[in-house]
Structure 1
Amino acid sequence: MTDSGATPTSLTEHEARDRAALLDVDRYDIRIDLRELADGERWLATSSIVFSCRRPGTSTFVDIDGEVLSATLNDIELDVSKHAGGRLPLPRLAAENMLTVSSVQTDTGSGNAILRSVDPQDKLVYVWSTFEPDGAHRAWACFDQPDLKAVHGFQVSAPTEWTVLSNSAAEVVLDRDDGGRLWIFEDTPRLSSYVVVVNAGPFHAMRDFRGGFSLGLYCRQSLRPFLERDAAELFELTEQGLTFFGERFARPFGQERYDQVFVPDFGGAMENWGCITWADSFLHRVPPTYAQRGFRALVLLHEMAHQWFGDLVTMRWWDDLWLNEAFASFASAWASVSATEFTDAWAAFLAQEQLPAYEQDAGPASHPIRSAVPDVDHAFASFDAITYFKGQAVLHQLMALLGEDTFAQGLQRYFDAHAWGNATLDDLIDALGTAAGRDLSSWTASWLDRAGTDTMSLVGTTLLTSSPDGGEPRRHALRIGSYARTPDGLAPVEVRALETAGTTTFLLDLPVADLHLINDGDLTFASVRADERSLSVLLAEAAQLPDPVNRALAVSTCWDMLFKGELSTGDFLDCVLAVLATESSPGVVQPLFTLALRAAEQWSPAVLVPRRLTRLAEVAAARADQPEHRLPALQTLAAAATAPEHFELLDAAATDDVDLAWRVEVRRASLGRYDEAAVAALLARDPDPDARVRAWGVSAARPLEEAKAEAWDRVWRERAVPAGQPLVDFAQCFWRPVQHELVLPWAHRYLDEVAEVSGGGLLALSGLVRHMRPTTADQEWLGRAQDLTEGDALAPAIRTVVRIVADQLTRMLDARA
């Protein structure tokens, strides 16, 4: 047996192309034994692979990261001592081959592809797996690259009381003579290695049959009441999404069973075929706000869209990662607006997700939507706002350019041509271009292969467009809305659709108006700059615009100007607070409150922070009387409260809202009013099995060195704070804006940690680095960050995060000054 202990070698694109040209994988039969994980750490697997070789006599390798117990190729034992760097050599292949590898993985506690977790409340054990981009070979031997798709057959042994879930339905469940049960699953269709899954534990299950599909929801037993509260909505959204995508793509989802599994200490969600894995923080411990429900719907639809775009048709290599992620993000908003109650999804997207894409695209971490990915380690660097959200915006523009029906016809062609296979960007663009009867090659080159954001400005009746690389600006399909002041607000005079070409577009007969809104409806991805008169109206009267997308566009335009040093924080706050005072769209209110809080706390000079928080708190307190906006208003008030009457209002509201009560205690602790008895009472009252993390957050907010040290160890040494939203919330407790002098040394400690971070999967580590980023710095810190990112010491994904953080902090420090 072997366990090389060496760092696995990252598969290169060249190696993947060579292996794909050599092999055709027919099927995997994978036997997994989880029984030792009930009270131990060993994941045991035997993988039998049937594959053919186009050049018999050639050698290759199979990927396996763990201890190899035995291996045979065509009934001949292999020398497992040659297993190194996560690779086992396969010499002298035959035309038809059978490879069997038995292995054990003992790293089941770090979250690197596999996590065994123990519920802190009832001590029950749960196990999840997630493999994007190349984690499957940590669980069993496989050819771990996206273009070697194969049928997978799973047989899983597990403790008797556990439920085992995989991509397909369990065909039979048998009692084992030596203890536990054996779950035998139906074969999957041909899938890439990164979208197969095994999850197990004593789950609480809920099932319903809707729209011809058997739908399942699963969670920890301790979260049962929260799943049961939200199940009706989740089932309805799932049915709506499957119906919408099946009709628009002219291809129903490919099997009857569709499961969604909520698991602990997981970041985000993963699109495994037929068995979506979610972070169970999406099961909110108190009734969620409209914006939280809307965002959860987008995540549900995003992972569902992947069943077609990613699972059914898969990219050949990770340079087309955007084919997966940008499309799924776009499709989730498309479906949300078209098929669910969350019809303001595009306005919410503009106010929330699109801004980070604009920010990243303006800084040193900018890159084309489609980027070169020399090896899998670099693929992690593409899991960012440009891939997801700029890509989403660009696809939204492409659909506007082609028309929704034509766009859908192109997608249908694409799925028909490449179902259960692999495809490239060119394949998608060819299908869309054929449906539209136009050549889209220049669109591809300008929008997907160039970095940066064009800027559009109106001078008189001339629309000027410039590109940051000095080249020819992209073609933009957009609208310009002209609005006049009336006693009832800003009324449209004309909304003109146009398509730009080059640097100058003449707008003949542009009507006289008080405001010309460039990119009305947010149909293109561009920084827009209003003429002087329009800007004054935008700053003072954005709230009077009749459409929530355009109100969000006005605020995002002002934020873009603040981010680039063209507008003061005070002017931005004047605009966003005026919009928030009257905004009717619940999908927009919460992200705009978040943006206003960010400006007041992080982009303001320390001396002005209390005054600006008071302004925000007054707006939030006023909106708290309106039922549809009460929850986000109270949550914002809890973050910004300064006056006794704020705390009186919050304490009254928190009597039946434990989440709000925790937020209020964080605020009090940050102001030096930590109440240990109140925290203990909240722990006793909170039904959340992870409530201890909330208590840790209250402690972390205290303006004390020992509080910061204790919190730091919990994150970086103990890794005790769950991934995803719990870590985001904890970081916000730690980095209190008015504690600059106290937390500045910890900002420097952050760079120390980043330089040495290890243990766990790279996605999890980059999430840790991203979520625990500091919100303050000094010039020495900026210099250290630059030195760190200019070398090769950091993994590409982590280097990208640090570049983004350093760029944001540079701009924030300039704004504070």
Structure 2
Amino acid sequence: MPAENLTRAEAVERAGVVTAVESYAVDLDVTTGPETFTSTTVIRFSAVPDASTFVDLVAPSVREVVLNGRSLDVAEVFADSRIALSGLEGVNELRVVADCAYMNTGEGLHRFVDPVDGETYLYTQFEVPDARRVFATFEQPDLKAPFQVTVTAPAAWQVVSNQPTPEPTKARHATEPDVAAATWTFEPTPRISTYLVALVAGPYAVQRGELTSSDGRTIPLGVFCRASLSEHLDADYIMETTRKGFEFYETTFDVPYPFDKYDQLFVPEYNMGAMENPGCVTFTESYVFRSQVTDAVRERRVVTILHELAHMWFGDLVTMKWWNDLWLNESFAEYASTLATAEATEWEAAWTTFSAMEKTWAYRQDQLPSTHPIVAEIRDLDDVQVNFDGITYAKGASVLKQLAAWVGREEFLSGVSAYFKKHAWSNTELRDLLVELEATSGRDLTAWSEAWLETAGVNTLRPSIETADDGTITGFAVLQSAVADYPTIRPHRLGIGFYDIIDGTLQRTHQVVIDVDGERTEVPGLVGRTRPALVLLNDEDLAYAKIRLDDASLAAALEHLSRIADPLTRSLVWGSVWDAVRDGETPASAYVDLVLGNIAAETESTTVRTTLNQLGLAVRSYVAPERRVATLARVGDRLWDLAQAADAGSDLQLQLVKFFAALASTPGHATPLRGLLDGTVALEGLTVDTDLRWELLEGLVLLGEADAAQIDTMLTQDDTASGRQAAARARAAVPTVDGKEAAFASVVDATDVPNAIIRFTASGFVHVSDPAVLEPFVARYVDALLDIWTTRSYHIAEELIEGLYPAPLASVALRDAVQGWLDAHGDAPAALRRMVIEQLAGTERALAAQAVDAA
């Protein structure tokens, strides 16, 4: 919201006035009722004498502001989420007492009441600018300080913060005198940024353990979740994964874990996967598996656990100075967590998963009109909010993987270690890291940084192969191109693999690793060799680039895809063909045929999930409209046939059933869905558990074969947080205009709906077999955009603007309506326009793909 924004220029100016923040003392009383809590903040800081500045606070009311013993007039100094401070001294003490609001948006201090037992649970989420919803703060990452947190809460609760939980003392409950209360006074944290302070409180169930750090300290471990979920919490596995991560990172970084304990807390209605609060990491509780999940989800949880652990070094110990270097946090954590997953856990194929999932995300994001350099220009908080994207995470991690291959892994990691040691507890910029990497690698990284970190866009690499009549290669080159808007031609280190059929499988018979630079790179080392069946650029996936196969290799890959022995190679082929579909070089119908003919032989769970998701997008948006109904019916038929033929109890079987339910489109599909749901149809080894029952029911709703009464009946059997979210999605999937109107109004017209219900309602709203049902909502959507942006918090606005976009229409009318809104609202906030432009780009790409498919 504009009144809550902060520009980089303002942050720089404030850092010039506030020369050091000595300490925060934050005292919170969460016994004051269900709407607000009392927040008392004391900040001690040094400043330029006689200068003026401000602190940030978002609160419904402020009781008092005292600066250096002077009581300030609240009405005069508090406005637009800021408290103005003037007449500063060299050393200052600021005291602010406020009534702050609980949130149901996943921002600030989120409050949730468990429908199972009525218990209340709290947790904080502060990144990017939401510590100010809980206490008065200099809300920018470079003004680090120690934080001493005190909390008064019901005595029966668990109260967790960044530091080890102390023994509580008795206290008075502010609103319920008969309820025992207590006060927890935590020791001060090390010097950290405001967005990393954390509080989790409530009657959480906990399992505890410990590990020994590389410096000999005993590090307490805790794993927490809501009491009603505790029977499903596999805490031993989570702690064992954590121990593996500790050992890997402490050895690899040569820096001991920098904090005093490590708690991991699975919290309700979370907006993201996890958050790296030091010593108090919060996770989505979808990672507490109450039903059977795919191996893809299990592996993703491990990567997420190790991603957040990597942040204890990348981001928490050393923090970016301003949000333009957010990649120093996220790209490194993404790279390091994949490395640790592959080398320290049982998920040894993590780089295949990275190729199938993360790089696909990066390539998609990097081809949007809103693409940006990894080191992005961040003008204000709105800019950074929208930059938690595939560039910052996945492209950045991909580029780091290539950099490690280019300079050498040991040299790369030695530079990272030196960076941690030199800049511990401080803030850094890009150049600080490059200095250390240059010192250990002996390479000047200035040109590399300019090409990879400071420019946007993705290159395309193609082989140019000349052969004699007998198949001998007489010329081989790698051609590199870039789109006109982002013309940078970059250096790449990549492998080139030769593959031939051996014993019935397509196997690699030769490989070279080369440095590619410029528009054409000759590869003389391959001249004179016999041309193989398949030539694969970027073999082993070292480079970040879109890859094309020459015609002969493409034909061999498509014919033998299911017989490619190596899963990473298969992932690269899958990705290359999908990218060609998105770029309008290969018809979507051909991709549908490829998936239906080969997916049953795929062994990697994430590759299956990614490919089937892409199949859904292809058949619903990229296939020519005149053949969409027949193709969607064929897809559903084939998925059900494959599910019946899959190995009993296999991951593939489970995924095929899930996607069959999601892509059901004909009355004939209702029969197996209903049978699986009521038990009259069974697949050997398949457990139809609670979450799968919801997916099957939604498939029936999608077909008009189940109604609100059946949803209500299912909800009475599963009246849990997850059940309510699934019911909201199922109701929103009702395939009528009235059903869609009810869903749209329930989250746009009503303003008190919690974030998770909004997210699930939006996903059900756009879950359609016949997209025509969404046509009346094109105008409804564009008319609501400005009001959503100006009246909702950032995360809720994002959920609504991206989630309710009627993308399945993929029509000229949708394109024109959205472009018309953009043309008429050139002065709309940049972050809002970016969200809308990204949605429009998806529609334009779909229209282009439909034209190719119709040709």
TM-score, length of structure 1 as denominator length: 0.94
Unmatched segments (≥5 aa) in structure 1: 1-5
Which has the larger displacement, 476-485 or 806-815? 806-815
Native 8 Å contact 2:168 2:184 kept in 1: yes
* 1:535 corresponds to which of 549, 554, 558: 554
Secondary structure in structure 2 of the residue aligned to 1:158: strand
- Are 2:258 and 1:239 equivalent residues in the alignment? no
Native 8 Å contact 1:73 1:100 kept in 2: yes
* 1:86 corresponds to which of 69, 78, 81: 81
Secondary structure in structure 1 of the residue aligned to 2:372: coil
Native 8 Å contact 2:620 2:808 kept in 1: no
Per the alignment, residue 262 of structure 2 pairs with 258
Identify if the C-alpha distance between structure 1 residues 626 and 127 changes in structure 2 by more than 3 Å, giving closer, same or farther.
closer
Secondary structure in structure 2 of the residue aligned to 1:171: coil
Distance 2:826 2:158 in 1: 44
* 1:176 corresponds to which of 149, 171, 181: 171
Per the alignment, residue 3 of structure 1 pairs with none
Distance 2:84 2:388 in 1: 31
Paired residue type of 1:640: L
Per the alignment, residue 116 of structure 1 pairs with 111
Native 8 Å contact 2:365 2:391 kept in 1: yes
- Are 2:824 and 1:801 equivalent residues in the alignment? no
Distance 2:638 2:807 in 1: 21
Paired residue type of 1:226: H
- Are 2:831 and 1:815 equivalent residues in the alignment? no
Query: Which digits, 9 at most, give the CA deviation of each residue in 1:192-251, with x for residues without a partner?
Result: 000101121121122122344211112222212222xx2222111111112211211111
Which has the larger displacement, 116-125 or 143-152? 116-125
Give runs of aligned pairs for residues 66-465 of structure 1, distance below 5 A.
Answer: 66=59, 67-80=61-74, 81-106=76-101, 108-177=103-172, 180-211=181-212, 212-227=218-233, 230-268=234-272, 269-460=274-465, 461-465=476-480
Query: Which digits, 9 at most, give the CA deviation of each residue in 1:142-167, with x for residues without a partner?
Result: 11100000000001111222222111
Paired residue type of 1:592: T
- Are 2:804 and 1:744 equivalent residues in the alignment? no
Identify if the C-alpha distance between structure 1 residues 666 and 409 changes in structure 2 by more than 3 Å, giving closer, same or farther.
same
Per the alignment, residue 674 of structure 1 pairs with 706
Secondary structure in structure 2 of the residue aligned to 1:209: strand
- Indicate the RMSD between aligned Cα atoms, in angstroms: 2.2
Distance 2:188 2:826 in 1: 43
Distance 2:355 2:640 in 1: 24
Unmatched segments (≥5 aa) in structure 2: 213-217, 466-475
Native 8 Å contact 1:737 1:775 kept in 2: no
Per the alignment, residue 54 of structure 2 pairs with 61
- Are 2:632 and 1:613 equivalent residues in the alignment? no
Per the alignment, residue 468 of structure 2 pairs with none
* 2:656 corresponds to which of 633, 652, 659: 633
How far is 1:627 from its partner?
2.3
What's the % identity of the aligned pairs? 34
Instruction: Say how many residue pairs are matched.
Output: 806
Distance 1:782 1:472 in 2: 30
Identify if the C-alpha distance between structure 1 residues 381 and 689 changes in structure 2 by more than 3 Å, giving closer, same or farther.
closer
Per the alignment, residue 514 of structure 2 pairs with 498
How far is 1:678 from its partner?
4.6
Distance 1:35 1:584 in 2: 52
Native 8 Å contact 2:375 2:454 kept in 1: yes
Native 8 Å contact 2:596 2:635 kept in 1: no
Secondary structure in structure 2 of the residue aligned to 1:172: coil
* 1:783 corresponds to which of 802, 806, 816: 816
How far is 1:34 from its partner?
0.8
Distance 2:489 2:147 in 1: 47
Distance 2:781 2:576 in 1: 32
Native 8 Å contact 1:207 1:217 kept in 2: yes
Query: Which digits, 9 at most, give the CA deviation of each residue in 1:239-264, with x for residues without a partner?
Result: 11122112111112123311112222
* 1:36 corresponds to which of 32, 35, 47: 32
Distance 1:103 1:587 in 2: 47
Distance 1:188 1:596 in 2: 48
Query: Which digits, 9 at most, give the CA deviation of each residue in 1:452-494, with x for residues without a partner?
Result: 1111111111111122247451000111111112342112121
Identify if the C-alpha distance between structure 1 residues 789 and 347 changes in structure 2 by more than 3 Å, giving closer, same or farther.
farther
Per the alignment, residue 496 of structure 2 pairs with 480
Secondary structure in structure 2 of the residue aligned to 1:629: helix
Native 8 Å contact 1:267 1:764 kept in 2: no
Paired residue type of 1:131: F
Paired residue type of 2:833: R
Distance 2:792 2:51 in 1: 35
Per the alignment, residue 44 of structure 2 pairs with 50
Per the alignment, residue 761 of structure 1 pairs with 793
Secondary structure in structure 1 of the residue aligned to 2:535: strand
Native 8 Å contact 2:144 2:193 kept in 1: yes
Distance 2:270 2:610 in 1: 23
Secondary structure in structure 1 of the residue aligned to 2:151: strand
Per the alignment, residue 473 of structure 2 pairs with none
Query: Which digits, 9 at most, give the CA deviation of each residue in 1:631-666, with x for residues without a partner?
Result: 222212322355467444674257641222211111
Give runs of aligned pairs for residues 543-692 of structure 1, distance below 5 A.
Answer: 543-604=562-623, 605=625, 606-607=628-629, 608-623=631-646, 625=648, 627-641=650-664, 643=668, 646-647=672-673, 648=675, 651-653=681-683, 656-675=688-707, 678-686=710-718, 688-692=720-724
Per the alignment, residue 471 of structure 2 pairs with none
Native 8 Å contact 2:153 2:182 kept in 1: yes
Identify if the C-alpha distance between structure 1 residues 390 and 552 changes in structure 2 by more than 3 Å, giving closer, same or farther.
same
Distance 2:802 2:301 in 1: 21
Native 8 Å contact 2:102 2:108 kept in 1: no
Paired residue type of 1:763: H
Native 8 Å contact 1:113 1:129 kept in 2: yes
Distance 2:387 2:488 in 1: 26
Query: Which digits, 9 at most, give the CA deviation of each residue in 1:23-50, with x for residues without a partner?
Result: 200110111111114xx21121111111
Native 8 Å contact 2:758 2:799 kept in 1: no
Native 8 Å contact 2:27 2:151 kept in 1: yes
Secondary structure in structure 2 of the residue aligned to 1:35: coil
Distance 2:191 2:51 in 1: 25
Distance 2:398 2:645 in 1: 34
Secondary structure in structure 2 of the residue aligned to 1:652: coil
Identify if the C-alpha distance between structure 1 residues 250 and 112 changes in structure 2 by more than 3 Å, giving closer, same or farther.
same
Per the alignment, residue 16 of structure 2 pairs with 21
Query: Which digits, 9 at most, give the CA deviation of each residue in 1:542-572, with x for residues without a partner?
Result: 2222221111111111111111111111221
How far is 1:691 from its partner?
0.8
- Are 2:542 and 1:523 equivalent residues in the alignment? yes
How far is 1:794 from its partner?
4.3
